[in-house]
Structure 1
Amino acid sequence: MISCILVDDEPYAREALAELLAKSPDILILAQVGNAIEAMQAINELKPQLVFLDIQMPRISGMELLAMLDKSTMPRIVFVTAFDEFAIKAFEYHAFDYLLKPIDPDRLEQTLARLRQDLAPKDLGPVTPAELTHLPCFSGNRLKVVPISDVEFIFSDVGGVHVATANGLVHTQMTLKLLEEKTRLIFCHRQYLVAPAAIAEIEVQDGGAEVITRSGARVPVSRRYLKELKQYFGFH
């Protein structure tokens, strides 16, 4: 059984694809979602083997979503698009395959046949864009798109990964390591990333330091990262 998720902001397009997939008894649809933030949550929670991913979606595109995923646990991605030029670009993003809308049943079957023969984990390699401009976050039952420019620091604890802005805390399912790779935030502690632009002061203390952000928040700096942080701003 091959598990999959359908991601498309057009309900009719999702339903049309679901009807085609229903003809293949070895395909299990775990979820259908309408935007990139819901898609990331579903992928992290359900861990599908395959994602049918629409390229053109509001706020965060399919290609931007792909850049947010941890490539070490990446499902196979089949891009779905109505435009030939996007289909060609799909392979630049190391997609498993692409389908043009409206989806031709024979073309879909070709994709599924290739998938059945290729069950080994696939290294999707580097993806772009390398730098994120927004983070998919949540607060309670609300999904939030947070601009990177609003982020002061991010930290992890037993409760998860938390994103601090001047307006308060929200949460994300992205890892600190992936956030370091995809943003300009830097480590100041093994559990903290900080935005250099948000730093107003560095208060040096015995055994480490604290960053004071422009909103007045205090962020720990471990001895391991203090020297690099000072050098970043030209201090010796």
Structure 2
Amino acid sequence: MISCIIIDDEPYARDELAILLENDPDFEVVAQCSNAVEAMQAIAKYKPELIFLDIQMPKISGLELASMLDPDNLPRIVFVTAFDEYAITAFEKQAFDYLLKPIDDNRFASTLNRLRKDLTPKQLGPIATEKLEHIPCFCGNRLKVVATDAVQFIYSDMSGVHVATANELVHTHMTLRVLEEKTSLIYCHRQYLIAPKAIAEIELQEAGAEVTTRSGAKVPVSRRYLKQLKQLFGFQ
């Protein structure tokens, strides 16, 4: 079940969203908040996978609240607002989606379907599908053919998807989802894939963990994937 928090200063808007989510057994509303201060406390307490966030709220706006959240443990953010002019800024804040009030039922259902697919934990280890032997990459004006076995980790950020080997960092137009399906790399963070054979050490931390690869690179591990990663190597 996907845990979520509804954050909106309008009680009617919160109730409307809660009622819509009650009809879907895959989502659980663990808290409702009327302002950003309440929301920060609830997010720290419940660590939700998803928040529905209004933009125009008193004192601290939804966009400001999104900027205050820990980027390494960021829940999926669906902005829900009556104003469309904030859309570009919202996606710069790592928004998963942007819904306009009043919420259209079909549009909302589509968002939930995408969230359901995105937040369903992936099984660690090989997937029964044809694997890539090479990944098409680029570095400046050079086209690079990188052997999949040479890849230590792959990560995405605002500038694209980056492929790290022991010796170089290059870039690819492929998505993390496709790379996870077509290689033996596994998710360790929603923005990182890692090759299990490249892992030399896992350092446990308060908010998750950090992997050190055999070449000495540091890769974050989110709480969501830590248990599965430990089990992969026989740790309890």
TM-score, length of structure 1 as denominator length? 0.50
**Aligned-pair CA distance for 1:87:** 2.7
Alpha-carbon distance in structure 1 between the residues aligned to 2:12 and 2:26: 23
Contact 2:49 2:75 in 1 (8 A): yes
Distance 1:46 1:124, change over 3 A: farther
Partner AA of 1:5 in structure 2: I
Q: Secondary structure at the match of 1:84?
A: coil
CA RMSD, 1 decimal: 2.1
**Aligned-pair CA distance for 1:86:** 1.5
Q: Secondary structure at the match of 1:55?
A: coil
Alpha-carbon distance in structure 1 between the residues aligned to 2:35 and 2:27: 22
Alpha-carbon distance in structure 2 between the residues aligned to 1:89 and 1:49: 21
**Aligned-pair CA distance for 1:89:** 2.7
Identify the residue that residue 62 of structure 2 maps to in structure 1.
62
**Aligned-pair CA distance for 1:88:** 3.6
Identify the residue that residue 15 of structure 1 maps to in structure 2.
15
> Is residue 73 from structure 1 mapped to residue 107 from structure 2 by the alignment?
no
Q: Which has the larger radius of gyration?
A: 1
Distance 1:85 1:12, change over 3 A: same
Identify the residue that residue 233 of structure 1 maps to in structure 2.
none
Q: List alignment gaps of at least 5 residues for structure 1.
A: 127-174, 176-236
Alpha-carbon distance in structure 1 between the residues aligned to 2:49 and 2:156: 13
- Residues 179-218 of structure 1 correspond to what in structure 2 (within 5 A)? none
Contact 2:26 2:116 in 1 (8 A): no
Identify the residue that residue 220 of structure 2 maps to in structure 1.
none
Distance 1:111 1:98, change over 3 A: same
Q: Secondary structure at the match of 1:6?
A: strand
**Aligned-pair CA distance for 1:5:** 0.1
**Number of aligned residue pairs:** 126
Partner AA of 2:16 in structure 1: A
Identify the residue that residue 168 of structure 1 maps to in structure 2.
none
**Aligned-pair CA distance for 1:105:** 1.3
Contact 1:94 1:125 in 2 (8 A): no
Q: Secondary structure at the match of 2:86?
A: helix
Alpha-carbon distance in structure 2 between the residues aligned to 1:74 and 1:82: 24
Alpha-carbon distance in structure 2 between the residues aligned to 1:89 and 1:73: 20
Identify the residue that residue 47 of structure 2 maps to in structure 1.
47
**Aligned-pair CA distance for 1:124:** 9.0
TM-score, length of structure 2 as denominator length? 0.50
Q: Secondary structure at the match of 2:48?
A: coil
Q: Secondary structure at the match of 1:99?
A: strand
Alpha-carbon distance in structure 2 between the residues aligned to 1:58 and 1:24: 30
Identify the residue that residue 115 of structure 2 maps to in structure 1.
115
Partner AA of 1:104 in structure 2: D
**Aligned-pair CA distance for 1:25:** 1.1
